Amino acid sequence: MEKKSSNTSLNKAARVKNDEFYTQLADIEKELKHYKDQFRDKVVYCNCDDPFESNFFKYFAANFNALRLKKLITTSYVKSSIVGKTLPLFDIEGLKPESKDPYVVEINEVLDLNNDNAIGIDDVQLLLERNKDATRRLNGDEQYSAGDFRSVECVKLLKEADIVITNPPFSLFGEYISQLMEHNKKFLIVGNKNAITYKDVFKHIKRNGLWLGYRNINSDMWLMVPEGEKYEKIVDGVRLKHIMACWYTNLDTSKRHEEFVMYKKYEPGEYPKYDNYEAINVDVVTDIPMDYDGVMGVPITFLDKYNPEQFELLGSNRDRDQDPNGVYGRSSMLQGKEKFKRLFIRNKKVKK
């Protein structure tokens, strides 16, 4: 009974919240190509991914040697309801593909097992078929079910990892980030844009412990959805839904060191002040005035241009607990009307 109660939030994430989305391989390839040197000799952990169906597993397994990985670990919570899109379901020693038993796959090397002079996903299939030590069931514990990223087994695997790459349940995103930070892990994960202002996320962004990946924040993602869930279009037989998602990471990017070029100058008539903040409102990121040295409220899409050497990130207009002084975290009002999510910033390199 205790285990069932403790898993209420994860069950909601998978069923009630309908946030069980799957990342397309093309989106993974476009983002991860920027970090290839950072994967060398590293243990990569994908801890919210059914290896049979996950494109994260497919990417790292097929490119294991090219990326010079030390090890790849992948765990599942329940078997994916998107069937047969990555690896065909085949018998593995000790596992039944038709079951929903959570399991872990650990790969230390990928050889040319089919003798075609290339390393690919077919070699990974042969590896898993032949090596019974590569795959095993997960058992869970008294508090969390098998495969839950918070379970003792999965936390032990997390401690072994250097970098975590996955698409975690959006409704548990704050808790997921907190766990990564607690264990001081490098990561690259997919999350909802609105998570930027979550209490357990924004505090890390503010202290420069977390930032956005290379994908433009204005370019939303089309994620795969399980059969039976609502979708917006079908491409090559895959059900897709438009999601306000982006990449969150603490792996270094060249993007966050680029200077954001501003061209506009401050004119009081163009930049009204908030009713309840000593700050001006800027509705469009490209309209940030280069000569204003005060506090500015900007859209959350500003993070796509955020260079911590150029700007100071002060707070947001969500979550009162973020600021012990009570300045930030309040709704931002402009002429009696509330503005949508805003970040408060100050230019460190004012150009008069």
Asked if pLDDT for residue 153 goes beyond 60, the answer is yes
Asked if pLDDT for residue 122 goes beyond 70, the answer is yes
AA letter at 193: K
Q: Which DSSP symbol is given to 335?
A: T
Q: What are 163's strand-pairing partners?
A: 44, 186
- The rounded mean pLDDT for the chain is 85
Range scoring the smallest mean pLDDT among 63-72, 115-124, 311-320:
115-124
Range scoring the smallest mean pLDDT among 76-85, 209-218, 276-285, 339-348:
76-85
Q: How confident is the model at residue 321 (pLDDT cuts 50, 70, 90)?
A: low
The upper half-sphere exposure of residue 229, i.e. CA atoms within 13 Å in the direction of its Cβ, equals 22
Per-residue tokens: 16: 């009630």
166 shares a domain with 244: yes
The predicted pLDDT at position 80 comes to 46
220 shares a domain with 113: yes
266 shares a domain with 249: no
Dihedral of CA 222/52/67/173: which sign?
Answer: positive
Rounded distance, CA 56 to CA 167, Å? Answer: 9
Range of the domain at 32: 2-253
In a domain? residue 163: yes
* pLDDT, greater one: 161 or 197: 161
The separation between CA 114 and the C-alpha centre of its own chain, rounded to angstroms, equals: 34
The predicted pLDDT at position 13 comes to 41
Q: Give the phi and the psi of residue 204 in degrees, each rounded to 5.
A: -80, -35
* pLDDT, greater one: 66 or 7: 66
Q: What are 248's strand-pairing partners?
A: 189, 212
Mean pLDDT value of segment 194-200:
90
Per-residue tokens: 145: 């079910």
Asked if pLDDT for residue 78 goes beyond 80, the answer is no
Q: How confident is the model at residue 116 (pLDDT cuts 50, 70, 90)?
A: confident
**Residue where a domain terminates, one of 196, 231, 253:** 253
**Residue where a domain terminates, one of 253, 284, 317:** 253
Query: Total domain count for the chain?
Result: 2
The closest of 69, 158, 140, 137 to 107, measured between CA atoms, is 69
The closest of 158, 149, 45, 170 to 102, measured between CA atoms, is 149
In a domain? residue 352: no
Rounded distance, CA 290 to CA 75, Å? Answer: 48
In a domain? residue 299: yes
Mean pLDDT value of segment 12-18:
43
